[in-house]
Amino acid sequence: MMATTISGWVLVALVNVAPDGYLAKGVMPVTTNLTFPDLPSCLAAEGEMRKQWADHWNAAKKAGMGKETLDMIMGQVVRGTCVPHRAK
């Protein structure tokens, strides 16, 4: 078996999949094509993605959005993971 050299990291978004648009029924990985030279940089980008979602959630809650709207936003929460990338 040959060793593989990691040349960077790719951010993969984990998007909730909900047939009814509200409650998550599963998760679908979506490649962002955002590559980073090291794992800490990739993890920082994933943290920023989560922060932006949280800011949107908090603004909607503060604005007094209804339960249906808040449930819809909750169903759109995005998480991410960083996977090794090998240059071609």
Give the tens place of pLDDT for each residue, 12-47. 998 877 655 555 567 888 888 899 999 999 999 999
d(CA 27, CA 15): 5
Count of domains for the chain: 1
Is 3 among the domain residues?
Answer: no
Is 2 among the domain residues?
Answer: no
SS3 9: strand
Q: What is the pLDDT of residue 4?
A: 66
Q: Which two tokens stand for residue 13?
A: 């978004």
The tens digit of pLDDT for each residue in 39-88 reads: 999 999 999 999 998 999 899 999 999 988 888 888 778 889 999 987 66
Amino acid (one-letter) located at 15: V
Rg of the chain, C-alpha, whole Å: 16
d(CA 25, CA 35): 29
Amino acid (one-letter) located at 54: A
pTM of the model: 0.75
Tell me which residue range forms the domain holding 16.
Answer: 8-85
Q: Which two tokens stand for residue 87?
A: 């240059």
